[in-house]
Amino acid sequence: MRARNSFVGAAFALLAAGMGHSALADDIKIGEINSYSLLPSFTEPYRKGWQLAVEEINAAGGINGKKLVVISKDDGGKPADAQTAANELVSSEGVAMLTGTFLSNIGLAVSDFANQKKVFFLAAEPLTDAVTWAKGNKYTFRLRPSNYMQAAMLVEAASKLPAKRWATIAPNYEYGQSAVAVFKKLMSEKRPDIQWVDEQWPPQGKIDAGPVVQAVAQANPEAILNVTFGPDLVKLVREGNTRGLFKGREVVSFLTGEPEYLDPLKEETPEGWIVTGYPWYSIKTPEHDAFLKAYQAKYNDYPRLGSIVGYQTIKAAAAIIAKAGSTDTDKMIAAAEGISMPSPFGEITFRKIDHQSTLGAFVGKTAQKDGKGVMVDTSYKKGSDYLPSDAEVEKLRPKD
Amino acid sequence: MSVAPPLLAVEGLTKSYGGIHAVRGVSFSLRPGEILALIGPNGAGKSTCFDMLNGQNKPDSGHVRLLGEETTGKKPRDIWRMGVGRTFQITATFATMTVRENVQVALISHGRQLFNLWGSAPNVDRNEAGRLLELVGMGGYADRPCGELAYGDLKRLELAVALANDPKLLLMDEPTAGMAPRERVELMRLTAQIAKEKSIGVLFTEHDMDVVFEHADRIIVLNRGTLIAEGSPAEVRGNPQVQAIYLGEGLLYEGGHREGASA
Amino acid sequence: MAFYVVQFLTGLASAASLFLVASGLSIIFGVTRIVNFAHGAFYMIGAYIAFTLTERFSGAFGFWGGVVAAALAVALIGVLVEIVLLRRIYHAPELFQLLGTFGLTLMVEDLVVLIWGPDDLVGRRAPGFKGAVDFFGQNIPSYDLFLIALGPVVLGVLWLLFQRTRWGVLVRAATQDRDMVAALGVNQKWLFTSVFAVGVFLAALGGALQIPRDAVHHAMDLRIIVEVFVVVVIGGLGSIVGAFVAAVLVSELNAFGILIFPKISIILVFLVMAVVLIVRPWGLFGKPEAAARKTPGLSVNPWRPLTLNERLASLAALIIAAMLPLFAGNYALTVGSEIAIFVIFAVSLHFLMSVGGLASFGHAAYFGLGAYGVAFLAKMAGLPMIVCLLLGPLLGCMGAAVFGFFAVQLSGVYFAMLTLAFAQIVWSIAFQWVSVTGGDNGILGVWPEKWAASPSHFYWLALGVAALVTIALRVMVFSPFGYALRATRDSLLRSEAVGINAKRIQWTAFVIAGTTAGIGGALFAYLKGSVFPDNLGISLSVDALVMVLLGGVETVSGGVIGAIVYKALNIWLVSQTDLSKLVLGGFIVLIVVVFPKGIVGMLEILAQRRRKSSPPGSSLLAKPVESAE
C-alpha cells in the first residue's frame, strides 16, 4: 500500500515538474510542438537547443524589450494530438506563433491548422517538400533544408560517381518515398546512363534487415541509396557489414551524418558513405564556435543536429517578431518574407517565394575515428544553391 | 384415408466417428402427448442420438421426421421453429439476464421480433413470460438474475423457455441431472402434466431409473449405438438383456460428462 | 540457387527471434488467458538490461552471461507483476487484464527513456558469432546460424518441459481446461505465476538476443508486440509448435515476398493472418476453443432501462454540458468536442463488446473509414458538410458489413485478431494508396462550413450527435434486438436453441457499431480538418478498448464515462508533461487494481451496497453456476 502511495506521489511530482512554465501578460509567448515522447533521441537535444536560444535572447534584453517565453507541448507523434496542442497554444495560451514539429505529416497537419486559423507557423524539421510547395500556404515557413534540397546536395556528389547500377533502400512512408523519387529524378537528369536495379521498402521502424540486405545484394548494384535512419539504419548497417553488402559499393545516404544517427553506430560505422549531416567537431566558423561554446557550457554535452534546429527555430522566431515589431500575424508574415539572419551555419534567409529558409547542410563521407563514427571531407552546402528556379517553384506552390 | 404421421419418426439413424459406430440404425417414433424415455449406459450413444434429433449433429444416414417433415440436416434454430423445444443436460441459459428476460428472448424469437431495433423489450410478451414462469413454478423469481439461481431452478427455467414457442415436441437431455431427489420428482411431474394438457410429445434421456419408470409412458434402450429394447416401463424392467447390460451396472452417475463437442 | 538458400536461412533467423517471443506469449495466453499486452515491454526491458550487462562485463562470459542474466532478471520482474497486479484481476471481466498490461506498457516506454536515456543504444556483437560464413559466394552471418539453431532448440526444450515434467502436464491441462486444474487441487496461483515467469523469460531472452543485430530503443516493444500476437494466432493459441510454424511461415513469406513486392512487409503478417483465420478459424494448430468460461456471472447485475429520476439526471447532465460554451473558452470547447466524439466511438465499441460480447481489436477501422468517407466526399466531390456528415459514415458501414461478415464467424480472441487484421489491411491501404488517400501525409483542409466552424457551434453539434447516438444505442440495448444480442453473448447454444440466428444478429450488431464509429470519425475529420492513416491505426483501436474497459464492460453506460475520463485525462496529461505515458499508465494500473470492474462498474457496486441494507437472504441459494457455455 505504501508503495502505491509513493508511486502516486512520484507521478504527481513528475506532473508538477512538467508544468513549470509561467508567463506574464506582456511577455511574448511562442508555442512549440514536437514529438517529445515518441522521438526523444532527436527532441532532447532539440529542446536543449531552443532553451539555449531563449536564454540568450532574454539575456540580451528579450524581443523589443519584452521577455520571450516558449510554451512547449508534446504531440506523441500523432497529427491529431498535435492539432489539439496547437489549438491549446493558440486559443488558451494565446501564443504569437507556432513553431516546431518533426514528422512530415504532423508538420502538414499543423500547417493546415495554421492556414485555417490564420496563425503564423514556423516549421522546424519536417522535411517533406509539400510543406512549402504542394501544400504550402501563406502562414507556414520552414527552417530545415527540405527533402529536395538534401537530395540535390547528395546528387551533386553522387552523380560524379562512376556507378551505373543503383539500388535504393528507403522506409515505406512519404519521407522515404519522396526522398527516393527526388533523388532518382535529379540523378537521371544528370546521368541518363544509370539504371535503377532494385528498390526495397521496409516498413519504417520494422525493417527485417537480413532479407532486405540479401535482396539488394542479389540485384548486384554498384551503388546504393539509403534513406533509412534511426534503429532501422543500425540494423541495416549491421546486416550489411556482416554480409558484405557495402564492400566495393558506393553508398549515398540521407541524414546518416547527423550525430543522432551516426553516433549509435560506433565501431559499426561504415567507411566512405556519402551523407548529409552535422559534423559539429569540424566546423570552424566563428558563428558555430560561439554556439558550440555556449551549448557545451550550458549542458556539458555536445550538440546534435536537433540542437541546431531547436536553437535556430527560436532564434528565427525571435528575429521575425523583432523585425515585425509586433505579434500581429500579417506583420510577422511580411517581416518573415525575405528576412535574413545569422545562424550557427552562417547567414540564412527565409525566401519570399516559398517561405523556405536557405539553411544548408553538410555533405561529407563517413569514417571511423577511435571507434566512433564521424564525417570527414565535409563541406557546407548552402540551401540557396540547391533549390529549383523561381519559375519552377511558382508552379509547385498553390497561389495564396 | 391416410394415417396421420407420428409426431416424431426416427428411421435408421446412424453416425460413426472414425470407424466407431456411435449410433447404428436406430428407429423409433413418438406420438403427441407421449412421454418417451431414452436410456442406456454411458457411451451408449444417447447424447449423439439426441444431438442428431435437435440438429447439433448431422447423421451419416437415416431420417428424422417431425409430423412428416424431414429435419435431418437442419440447423437447431430451424428445428426449433418447427416446434421443438429443448433443455440441456448442463443448463444453458442467459446468465446475465433476469429469469423473465430469459423467457422473453424465446418469446421475441418466436414472435419474429429479433431484428426489432426500436421496441421496448421489457414490455414484449411480459405477461406471457410471467404465465410461463408461473406454469413452471418460477413466478416469484421473474426479476432475479438468472446467474443467481439454484440449479434446480435453472432446470425449471429451461423448461419454461422450452415451452415458449408452443412446442409440439420437447427434447430433454437428462432433465433432472444434478437435482435433489425431491426436485427431480417435482420437475418430471410438472413436465408430464404439461405434456398431457397440451398434448406435447416428450423425449428425454435420464439416468435416474426412478424418474424413468415413474414418468415414462414408454422406454427405449440404447446400447453401443443400437436399440436393444423398447416397451412399457414394466416390459423394459423385465427385459433380461436390459437387466444384464444396463441395470446391472447400477445407477452410475455420468460424472464429468459434458455437452457434445459441438457446444 | 545459393541466393535462395541463403534468403531462406535469413528468413529462418528472423523466424527464430520471432518465435522466442511468440512462444512465451502463447504459453501465457494458453494457461492464464491473459492477453498480455506487456509482452513487448518485457522484450524491450530484456534488451535494455542485456545491453547494460553486456557493456559492463567483457568477454564471452560477460556477453552470454549478461544475456541470460537479463532474461532472468526480467522474469523476476514478471513474477512481481503477476503477483502484484495480475493476480488481483484474473477474475475480472474478460480482457480486463489487457487494460492492466496496457497500462504497464505505457509506463515502461517512458521509464526506459528515464533510465537509459533517449539515444538509440547499439550493443556489441556476440563473441564467436561476429562474422559471416561463406556459402557459394553468399554471406550468412554466423549469428543468424546461431539463431536458426536456437529456435528448434528452444522448441525442443519447451516440448520436453511440457511432455516430460509434471509442471508441463499441468500447464497443458490448464491450457485445455482451467477449471479442471483448479478441481485437481493444484495450486493454481503458483502455476500461473510460474507460467507467466517462463513466458516473460522467453520474451526477455528474445529481446536480449537482439543486441548483436538491432539497436536498443524505447519503441522496440510496439515494433514486436502486434507481430507476435499475429504469429501466436496464426499458429493457434496455446500451441508452441503452431507458433514456430507460423513464425517460419511469416518470416519466409516476408523474405521472399520482398523480392517480388518490395512494399509487402507492411501488411504481410496481417494478410496471412486474415487468410488463415478465414480458412482455419482456430489457427493452423489450434483447437476449437473449449467454450471459454464467461465470467460476467460474478456480479450479476441485471441491466435495466433508466428510471425516471435517472433519466432526469442524465438530461440535467446533458443540459449542463450544453451550457459549457457560456463560460468556457475555445480550447476547452474544442477539447469538449473531441471528448464528445470519443464518446461516440467508445459507445459504439461498448455496444459491440458489452452487449454483443465481441471485443474488436480493430474498431478504429470504421472510425477512420467514416473520417476518410467525409474527406473523400468533401475534397473530391465537394459536397456540403451536412451531406458529408450523413454519407461519410456509410463508408464505415460498408467496411463493417464486409469485414464483420467474416469476423463474426469467429469468436473470442480469434474474432479480436481478425478484426485487427482487417483494420491493419484498411490502414495499409490508406497508407500506401498515396494517389487517393495522400498516404501518411493524409488529406488536409477538411474544415467545417461556417455554420459549424465556431468552436461553440461545433461543440454543440458533436455533443448533440453524441447524445443522440448514446440514446439510440441505449434504446437498442433494451430493444428486442438488444435482448437477442445479449442472448448470443451469454449462450450461443441456448440462443440457437430458441431459433436465433446468432451470426446474423452479431453481424447486424457489428454493422451498427461500425456505422456508429463511422459517425464519430466523420465528426473527427471536421474537428481536425484533416484525415490521416492514424485515424485507422492500432493505437486508436487500443484507445477505444481502454475506454470501454476503463468505464466497465459489464455496464450499460461504461463507454460514456470511460471515454470522458480517459480522453480528458489523456489530453490534459499530454499537454502538461512529456511523461504522459508514465502517468497515464500508472493511472490505468491503479484503476485496474482498485476498480477491477471499471469505473462505472465500481459505482454500481457502491450504489448497490447502499441499497442493499436488507439481509441478503437470497445469497444462500445463490451459487454461481458456471455452465459450460
**A 143-202 residues inside an 8 A Cβ radius of C:** 172-174, 177, 198-202
Q: Percentage of chain B surpassing pLDDT 90?
A: 46
Q: What is the mean pLDDT of residues C405-425?
A: 91
Tell whether the model's pLDDT for residue C110 goes beyond 70.
yes
Domain match, A58 and A7 both: yes
In a domain, residue A393? The reply is: no
Residue A49, min C-alpha distance to chain C (Å): 15
Q: Would you call C214 and A80 a contact, using CB atoms and an 8 Å cutoff?
A: no
On the CB side of C188, CA atoms within 13 Å amount to: 17
How far are the Cα atoms of A30, A185, C318 from residue C557, in angstroms, in the given order?
A: 41, 56, 14
Question: Which residues on C lie below 8 Å from B97 (Cβ)?
Answer: 302, 483, 486-487, 490
In a domain, residue A399? The reply is: no
Domain match, A370 and A324 both: no
Tens digit of each residue's pLDDT (9 = 90 or more) over A302-352? 999 999 999 999 999 999 999 999 999 999 999 999 999 999 999 999 999
Residue with cell 536543449: A48
Question: Which residues on A lie below 8 Å from C338 (Cβ)?
Answer: 84
pLDDT for residue C301: 65
CATH of the domain at B216: 3.40.50.300
Burial A34-62 (b: 16+ CB within 10 A, else e): bbbbbbbbbbbbbbbbbbbbbebbbeeeb
B53 vs C542: CA distance, rounded Å: 44
Query: Can you give the residue range of the structural domain that contains C375?
Result: 324-538
Tell whether the model's pLDDT for residue C298 goes beyond 50.
no
Instruction: With CA atoms as reference, report the closest residue to C552 among C175, C299, C195.
Output: C299
The three-state secondary structure class of C97 is: helix
From first to last of its 400 residues, what are the pLDDT tens digits of chain A? Answer: 334 444 444 444 444 444 444 445 579 999 999 999 888 889 999 999 999 999 999 999 999 999 999 999 999 899 999 999 999 999 999 999 999 999 999 999 999 999 999 999 999 999 999 999 999 999 999 999 999 999 999 999 999 999 999 999 999 988 899 899 999 999 999 999 999 999 999 998 889 999 999 999 999 999 999 999 999 999 999 999 999 999 999 999 999 999 999 999 999 999 999 999 999 999 999 999 999 999 999 999 999 999 999 999 999 999 999 999 999 999 999 999 999 999 999 999 999 999 999 999 999 999 999 999 999 999 999 999 999 999 999 999 887 6
In a domain, residue B255? The reply is: no
- Sign of torsion, CA C485 C488 C491 C495? positive
DSSP single-letter state for residue B23: E
Q: Tell me the three cell numbers of residue A332.
A: 510577422
Domain match, A181 and A139 both: no
Interface test with C, best of A32, A105, A213 (most C CBs within 10 A): A105
Q: Percentage of chain C surpassing pLDDT 70?
A: 93
In a domain, residue C501? The reply is: yes
Domain match, C95 and C174 both: yes
Chains in touch with B (3+ beta-carbon pairs under 8 Å) read C
Domain match, C342 and C255 both: no
User: Where does a domain end: C509, C538, C567?
Assistant: C538
In a domain, residue A53? The reply is: yes
Domain match, A87 and A181 both: no
In a domain, residue B128? The reply is: yes
Tell whether the model's pLDDT for residue C276 goes beyond 90.
yes
Domain match, A379 and A314 both: no
Higher pLDDT: A171 or C610? It is A171
pLDDT for residue A120: 97
Residue C465, min C-alpha distance to chain B (Å): 18
**A 303-342 residues inside an 8 A Cβ radius of C:** none
pLDDT band (50, 70, 90) for residue B43: confident
Q: Tell me the three cell numbers of residue C2.
A: 545459393
CATH of the domain at C38: 1.10.3470
For C215, nearest residue in chain A (alpha carbons): A231
Q: What is the mean pLDDT of residues B192-217?
A: 89
Tell whether the model's pLDDT for residue C158 goes beyond 70.
yes
For B104, nearest residue in chain C (alpha carbons): C483
Query: Can you give the residue range of the structural domain that contains A78?
Result: 2-146+285-360
Question: Which residues on A lie below 8 Å from C227 (Cβ)?
Answer: 206
CATH of the domain at A119: 3.40.50.2300
The count of CB pairs under 8 A between chains B and C is 161
Q: Which of B142-146, B243-247, C553-557 has the lowest mean pLDDT?
A: B243-247
Question: Which residues on A lie below 8 Å from C254 (Cβ)?
Answer: 208, 211
What is the total count of domains within chain A? 2
pLDDT for residue C553: 82
**Bridging pattern class, strands A223-226 and A165-169:** parallel
The reply to whether C133 touches chain A by the CB within 8 Å rule is no
Backbone angles phi, psi at A251, to 5 degrees: -130, 130
Question: Which residues on C lie below 8 Å from B104 (Cβ)?
Answer: 483
Domain match, C246 and C335 both: no
For C216, nearest residue in chain A (alpha carbons): A231
pLDDT for residue A132: 94
Q: Tell me the three cell numbers of residue C494.
A: 441456448
**C 149-178 residues inside an 8 A Cβ radius of A:** none
Domain match, C271 and C330 both: no
Instruction: With CA atoms as reference, report the closest residue to C67 among C88, C48, C86, C89.
Output: C48
For C490, nearest residue in chain B (alpha carbons): B94
Domain match, C337 and C237 both: no
Residue with cell 529549383: A388
The reply to whether C113 touches chain A by the CB within 8 Å rule is yes
In a domain, residue B89? The reply is: yes
Tens digit of each residue's pLDDT (9 = 90 or more) over B216-243? 999 999 888 889 889 998 888 888 888 7
Q: Are C98 and C193 in contact (CB under 8 A)?
A: no
A395 vs C41: CA distance, rounded Å: 49
pLDDT for residue B3: 61
Q: Would you call C334 and A109 a contact, using CB atoms and an 8 Å cutoff?
A: no
Interface test with A, best of C216, C424, C444, C581 (most A CBs within 10 A): C444
In a domain, residue B136? The reply is: yes
Q: Would you call A243 and C582 a contact, using CB atoms and an 8 Å cutoff?
A: no
The answer to whether B and A touch (≥3 CB pairs < 8 Å) is no
Q: Would you call C442 and A79 a contact, using CB atoms and an 8 Å cutoff?
A: yes
Q: Would you call C300 and B147 a contact, using CB atoms and an 8 Å cutoff?
A: yes
**Bridging pattern class, strands C215-216 and A361-369:** unpaired
Quick one: chain C helix, strand, coil %, rounded to 5? 75, 5, 25
In a domain, residue C627? The reply is: no
pLDDT band (50, 70, 90) for residue B258: very low
What is the total count of domains within chain B? 1
Residue C456, min C-alpha distance to chain A (Å): 13
Burial label, A163 (beta-carbon count in 10 A; 0-12, 13-18, 19+)? middle
Residue A350, min C-alpha distance to chain C (Å): 24
pLDDT for residue A400: 60
H or E, element range at C373: helix C364-379
**DSSP codes joined into one string, A202-215:** PPTT---HHHHHHH
pLDDT for residue C594: 84
Q: Are A226 and A170 in contact (CB under 8 A)?
A: yes
Tens digit of each residue's pLDDT (9 = 90 or more) over C490-511? 998 899 999 999 999 999 999 9
The answer to whether A and C touch (≥3 CB pairs < 8 Å) is yes
**DSSP codes joined into one string, A287-316:** HHHHHHHHHHHHHSS---HHHHHHHHHHHH
pLDDT for residue B45: 86
H or E, element range at C216: strand C215-216
Domain match, A40 and A93 both: yes
B17 vs B38: CA distance, rounded Å: 21
Give the helix ranges, DSSP H, for B75-219: 76-81, 99-110, 126-135, 151-162, 181-198, 209-215
In a domain, residue A17? The reply is: yes
Backbone angles phi, psi at C174, to 5 degrees: -65, -35
Name the average pLDDT for chain C.
88
The three-state secondary structure class of C33 is: coil
In a domain, residue A397? The reply is: no
Tell whether the model's pLDDT for residue B100 goes beyond 80.
yes
Tens digit of each residue's pLDDT (9 = 90 or more) over B149-183? 888 889 999 999 999 999 999 999 888 888 888 88
What is the total count of domains within chain C? 2
Chains in touch with C (3+ beta-carbon pairs under 8 Å) read A, B
Question: Which residues on A lie below 8 Å from C48 (Cβ)?
Answer: none
pLDDT band (50, 70, 90) for residue C473: very high
Q: Would you call C297 and B95 a contact, using CB atoms and an 8 Å cutoff?
A: yes
Domain match, A367 and A254 both: yes
Name the average pLDDT for chain B.
85
For B82, nearest residue in chain C (alpha carbons): C499
Question: Which residues on B lie below 8 Å from C480 (Cβ)?
Answer: 108, 113-116, 119, 121, 124
Q: Tell me the three cell numbers of residue C44.
A: 524491450
Comparing CB atoms, the residue among A36, A200, A230 nearest residue C258 is A200
Question: Which residues on C lie below 8 Å from B124 (Cβ)?
Answer: 480, 483
Domain match, A176 and A274 both: yes
Query: Can you give the residue range of the structural domain that contains B176?
Result: 32-58+75-249
Question: Which residues on B lie below 8 Å from C512 (Cβ)?
Answer: 117
Residue with cell 489457427: C283
Comparing CB atoms, the residue among A18, A201, A234 nearest residue C263 is A201
In a domain, residue A217? The reply is: yes
Q: Tell me which amino acid residue C499 is.
A: G
Q: How remote is the C-alpha of A148 from its chain's centroid?
A: 13
The reply to whether C330 touches chain A by the CB within 8 Å rule is yes
Domain match, A234 and A369 both: yes
Q: Give me the interface pTM, i.e. the ipTM.
A: 0.89
Domain match, C346 and C475 both: yes
The reply to whether A22 touches chain C by the CB within 8 Å rule is no
C41 vs C225: CA distance, rounded Å: 8
Q: Tell me which amino acid residue C356 is.
A: G
Domain match, C383 and C258 both: no
C303 vs B121: CA distance, rounded Å: 12
C235 vs C204: CA distance, rounded Å: 21
The reply to whether A17 touches chain C by the CB within 8 Å rule is yes
Q: Are C9 and C70 in contact (CB under 8 A)?
A: no
Question: Which residues on A lie below 8 Å from C578 (Cβ)?
Answer: 18, 36-37, 74
In a domain, residue C212? The reply is: yes
